[in-house]
Every structure is written in structure tokens, then in C-alpha cells.
Amino acid sequence: MVLTTFAAAEPAAPVIAGPADPEPASLVTLSVPGQAAFDRLVASGADLTERVRPQPDGSIQVDAVVTPGQLDGLKSLGATLAPGAPAQARPRATAPKDQIVIERAVWFRSRDGYFLSVEASSNAGQAATLTVTWKGARGSDGQAPMVAYVDAGAYLGHQLSTPVPADGRPRWVTVTSAAGGTAEARVKEWPDGERPDREGRGYQRDFVTRYMTPAQLDERVKSLHRRYPGLTEIITLPYRTNGYRRHAQALIGTPPAAAVVITSAAYGSEGGNDLAVELAGPGAPDRPLRVNVDGKLITVSLATDGSGTPVSTAAQVAAAINATEGAGVTATTYRDDAGGGVMAPAPPAQLSDFLQAPAGVSREPARVLALRIGTHRDGSRTGVLAYAQEHAREWVTPLVTIEAAERLLRNHARDRATRRLLERTDIFIVPTVNPDGANYSFYDFNAQRKNMTNHCPAAQSDPAARNTWGVDVNRNYAVGSLHDGYFGASANCQSGTYAGPAEHSEPESRNVMWLAQTYPNIRFALNVHSYGGYFMWPPGAYKLDGRVTLPRPSEQDLAYFLRSARTIEEAIAAERGTVTWPQQTGPVTDVLYSAAGNSADELWYDHGVYGWDFEVGADLWNPATRRWEGVGFQPPFSEGHAEAMEFASGLIALIGVAADHRER
Ligand SMILES: [Zn+2]
């Protein structure tokens, strides 16, 4: 099932895909036969989304961004494109009578209907075949199979989430095992948190009207500060990004053996795009290989044999260019090829950085802005940090922070509850952590996840590879990282989860930690991502061998995380009835997968900050197919807008939790 085909921005003229062009990428749903295959998929560094869905037959479906070439590679790991039809449960062999524990049985009403969710486990482990039977109002009843949830070889229990009729609220569930075990529980309501403060009369809301580029986000932050100077300040974060810019390149000749990749020393925007390289046939016998630089034109005069036929190989041409002083470029053979092929004469090829944003979009290193909001911004109040768009393609996430900030400011004068929040907390909003990647997502390649800094060696730096470069900002932090031996990040510079050459190698991650270090009153943080509809907290990473997680918070802290989450999810649901699933509420490692070197872990373990993660954009229930469907990174704005509204309410509820927080 192909959900979306990602295309670059509309080209000015028809372009025929050539060896310098990246393969197109698609957002697809992959299916793998089981947990071991899923672990291999994560370990491969594939560009997986946060939408992971175990199936009744034990297989696992996950949305991923792949090119046709990558898909072939993933197929060798056991992944297939998920079929459109729901998977059927397979009968399993019976085991000796087992013991069943029901961890959670809840009922909820989502905008999509009414659902029963049950989590239970058997001491027989994942091999157990468990079935839920329920009885409810008006004599209603039903039955459905549970799905084993296994992560990194560890059995975490069985789950079921199933629609139920509106008038048949389940009251009791019985979980029975094919091996004979049984358990019973009363069904509670979810999330059933404390209701958020009622908004006063005249409360204003709904301030986002479109997806916003980094420049538009900066402008909104500045205009909010101009309008509310007494309640806000702008903090310019200290680490400049590398900038929405690249070196200019050209691929000359015929890959793999008879091709040369030329790369400018200057960025394209700083003169690299003006350069051109020509391969000239001298038209005379026995000429040597020569390189001449005339202004912006580099002319390579190919060597000839006694009959006047060019004989220079790609490797020789590259070496000759590199030996020429003042050329302003470097040359390499194509990828890992030795470059033994003979080059043919070619007309001047213009170098390009291939960046398609209009000239008005800055190519300079970017300053990342934070908007600080509060009546007392002196460090005396509980600090709340909300930061979005570590992942460039998650276009809804900045809108969550902008909408929340604007609601707080516009309602300060008219709403008592809002005044109380700004009186008691000190709020730091960073709408876009990764503006360079965001620009690339808007203007060039909308599936871009990472930042734009290329750490790849020359063999992986030809122009067709350009959509694979960059560091996954949310794998570049220093706690539970790849470099510490944790699972769920990649050392491959072309991977979607590339951790970077070192912890904190990237300015984007250093900026987030600078805030936590500089403002020690920050005690709560919300890292906004999309999509899938999750609300999560530490631990977020484990070591694969033995599935050893980062230390679990104390029972007291875990209870606080969960209790607060229910309040926040209540606020999200109040918006349009979107309920965050109970089995998608919890520690990252329990409900999603290991994400080595993520920011929430560093905030919690190194700074004692309650570090939460939103995955906005809960699945939508399709009553026609009776399947949950993912919303994607860039849904039609009407859906993106609705997600921004509901998760802005969630963020404001989190600020409410912070306002009520008392140090123990
Ligand atoms: Zn993300």
C-alpha cells in the first residue's frame, strides 16, 4: 500500500531522471513477519515512521519512507508491502494451563466511535493464544483475539483494541487462554484524567491558517513579541545551524567507471553555482591531459593517443583537476568505482547545489529562536520547554507550539485560568529546532527527516545521494546514545536515523540542551513529533542484548508521568474527541521502539526534567474498511489544523500540570 509519493517542488522545465537525480521516495506501509525481522529493520537504519502496529497474526506493520532501491534491500530483510486486507489470526499450538494477568481494561469514546482496549499477559509468554470476551450494557457482548507484543525479544504482553457499538459499553472482560488460563476485570473509562480548566467566556483560539516555513515561524514569534513585550522575550539560541545551503556539484560522464563527480569548495549560493566544467577533445594526436581555469570555466583537455582518440580515464581526470590550483573544486570518481573508464569529450556542465527555494529564502546559517512567555521570567517559576520539528517533515508540529503560545498571550487579559498559568510558569517555545531541514522539506524533498549537514565521505556524496544526507537530530543527544551502545540509531551517514559522528555534533541538538542548562528552572519539556498519536516518556532506549533499558523512573515518578498524561490526554480529547490509545501512552521503550540518543532521555537523566514526547496525528478509523489509517506527515491542511488545535490544548494542559507542580 503506497500512501504518498514524495516529489520535489515542481521543476521549471521537464526533467529526465538521470544518474545525478535521487530516486523518488514513497511513504509505504511495510509488513514484517515478526519481532526478529522488525528488529533487523530498525537495525538497518531504515527511515521508519513512528507508526508501528502489531497484527493479529504476529506480523508487524510499520510506515516507512523508502525509495525503490531501498525497498529491494528491505525485502531481503523479510519486509513486504503490507496488503490491503486485514491479516487473519493463525491458530496456535496449545500449551499447558497458564496464568493470566489483566494489566488494563478500558473503554473509550473517540471521535471515530467507541472502543475497548485490553492489555493482559500470560506466563506462557508470546506463544499464548489469548481471547477477550466482554459483556456490557443492554446485554451486549463480543469476543476478539489478542495480539502478542514483543520488543527486542522481550515479551511485553498481549493487546487488543476493538470497536464496540455505541450503546453496548463493555463493563466486564474475561481473558481466556487456549491453554486454559483465565482472568476477569472490570472495564474502566479512559483517559478519565482530571478535566482541564474550563475556558472562560470569550476565550480566543485558532491562530494557524497554513503550514508555516521557518521564515514564517520566525516572523510570527517576532510579531507576538512586538505585540506582547511585557509578557514575552525572544531568546536567540547560541548555535547557528549550518544553513540551507550545499556545495555545488556536477556528475560528468557515464557511471560507474567513466564518470567524475565535481564538487565546489564554495557553497552554491556563494559562487559554487557559477562554476562549469568542460571536457574538451583536443582534436590532435599525442596530447597530454591538461586542465585550464578561465574565470568560472574549468576546461579539461583530454589526453589523446597517436590517432587523436581521447584516452584519459575518470581517475586520471579527477587527479588532474585536483592537482590544479585555483580550480575551486574537488573531483572524485563515482562512488566506490576506481574510475578506469575512458572519458569522452563533454560540453560545459554547470555546477548546481540543486536547491530550489526562491532566492528570498536565506542560505545563511540560521539562528534558532525561542519565545519565552510568562509574567515572571526571572527563573523563579517552574519552566516548561516545548520544542518542535526536530524532524523536518513533521509540518504540523511547529503549529502546535505557535497555536499554544498565541492562545496564552491573546487570552492573558481576558481569561483568569490563562493568567494563572502565566503567573506560575515560565514557558520556552521553540517552534522549529531544525529550520534547514524544514526548508529542504518545504522546497526540495518533502520526506526530509534529518538536518542538512552532510557527514558522508566522497563515495556517498554524489548528487543523486543528496536526499539521504544529514543527521537525525533526535538521535544526536548524549544519553543512551548509539555511541554508548544503545539500540535504535545508525552509524550509516545515509540512514534515516543517523546519529551523527559524535554526541551533540549538531548545533540543533546543542541548542536544546543549552536551554536546559541555561534555565535550570525548566522542569518540564515536551518534544513534539508526528505522527501516530502517542504520548510518551522515558526510558526511550535500551541495549539490544538483553533489552536493558535506561533506568526506569521510580514508581512514584512513573505514576506521576501517567497521572499527568491522563489529564493532558483529556484535554486533547476535548478538542474533537481524539483519544490517545492507552497502549500508546507510556514509556517510549514500552509503547514504540528504542530510540538511542533522543532528547527526552537526556533531559530526564541529565537534567531531571520531566521529558515527554507527543506524536501528534492519531490514526483515523475508516468505518468502510474497518481499519485504522495513518494520517501521514503532511496531511491536507484541514487535518493538520485539527491536529494543531488538539495538541495545542494538550500542551496548555501540560503547562497546567507544571503550574500545579510542587517539588517533593
Ligand atoms: Zn519525529
Averaged in consecutive runs of 10 residues, what is the pLDDT profile of the chain (664 residues)?
A: 43 58 86 87 84 84 87 86 50 65 87 86 91 90 90 84 87 94 91 69 92 98 98 98 98 98 98 98 95 97 97 98 96 98 97 97 98 98 98 98 98 94 98 98 98 97 98 97 95 97 98 98 97 92 90 92 91 88 88 91 96 93 86 96 96 96 73
Q: Are strands 130-136 and 141-145 parallel, antiparallel or unpaired?
A: antiparallel
Q: How far is the centre of ligand 1, averaged over its atoms, from the C-alpha of 8 (Å)? A: 20
Residue positions counted in the chain = 664
Residue 2 pLDDT = 44
DSSP secondary structure string for all residues of 331-388: EEESTT----SBPPPEEEEE-B----S-TTS--SPPPPEEEEE-S--SS-SEEEEEEE
d(CA 476, ligand 1 centre) in Å: 13
C-alpha 560 to ligand 1 mean position (Å): 24
Kindly report the pTM of this predicted structure: 0.86
In the reported structure, the alpha carbon of residue 529 is separated from the centroid of ligand 1 by a whole-number distance in angstroms of: 4
Spacing, Cα 598 to ligand 1 middle (Å):
10
Q: How far is the CA of 535 from the centre of ligand 1 (A)?
A: 13
* Helical packing angle, 435-443 and 214-227, nearest 10°: 120
Of 410, 398, 630, 375, give the one whose Cα is nearest residue 526.
398
Question: Which pLDDT score is estimated for 198?
Answer: 62
Ligand 1 centroid, distance to 100 Cα (angstroms): 36
Dist. CA 473 → ligand 1 center (Å): 9
Say whether the peptide bond before residue 229 is cis (omega within 30 degrees of 0): no
CA–centroid distance, residue 394 to ligand 1 (Å)? 7
* Model pLDDT, residue 41: 85
The pLDDT value recorded for residue 577 is 86
CA of 613 to the centre of ligand 1 (A): 9
- C-alpha 478 – ligand 1 centre gap (Å): 18
Cite the DSSP H helix spans in 444-484.
Answer: none
Record the cell numbers describing residue 568, joined without a space: 493532558
CB neighbourhood size of 10 (10 A): 6
pLDDT at 348: 97
CA proximity to 405, closest of 644, 659, 575, 660: 644
pLDDT at 602: 96
Enumerate residues with CB within 5 Å of ligand 1 (an ion): 391, 529
